[in-house]
Amino acid sequence: MPAQDLPPSTFHMLERNVGKKVRVVMDSTYGFEGTLEAVTQDPAGIWISEVDTIVLRSTLAQSIPRVSSKEETGDLYLNLNSIQRIEVLQQTQNRSK
């Protein structure tokens, strides 16, 4: 019987991004930004370091929430049950000619 390729689980997808900068949205109005340090399965959660607490705002004209303020927090453990969305932030590179 041939081996079936199973889709990666949420934990596998998160583990691929360890060490990268992430934005974790907890609610439509706030979240956290920091470096993803570890993923745990029991209890299901993530550890992030160098954390900034962020406030998200949207308007009628700009319906996609934008970061309106940041405050340095420290290191956090977040349970996956309380997370609404996790975004991996791309690092911008300075291009000089």
* pLDDT confidence tier of residue 36, bands split at 50, 70 and 90: very high
Domain ranges of the chain: 10-88
pLDDT of 5 over the 70 cut: no
**What's the pLDDT band for 1 if we cut at 50, 70, 90?**
very low
Return the CATH architecture of domain 10-88.
Roll (2.30)
Helix (H/G/I), strand (E/B), else coil: 33: strand
For the cut 60, the answer to whether the pLDDT of residue 51 exceeds it is: yes
pLDDT score recorded for residue 94:
58
**What totals of helices (H) and strands (E) does the chain contain, helices first?**
1, 5
In the block, tokens 């700009």 appear at: 62
Reply yes or no on whether the pLDDT at 78 is more than 60: yes
Q: Which two tokens stand for residue 64?
A: 């996609």
Radius of gyration for the alpha carbons in the chain, expressed in angstroms and rounded: 16
Name the one residue in this structure whose structure tokens are 């927090």.
73
- Exposure class string for 22-48: b at 16+ Cβ within 10 A, else e: bbbbbeeeebbbbbbeebeeeeebbbb
52: left (phi over 0), alpha (psi -120 to 50) or beta: beta
* Between 21 and 10, residue with greater pLDDT: 21
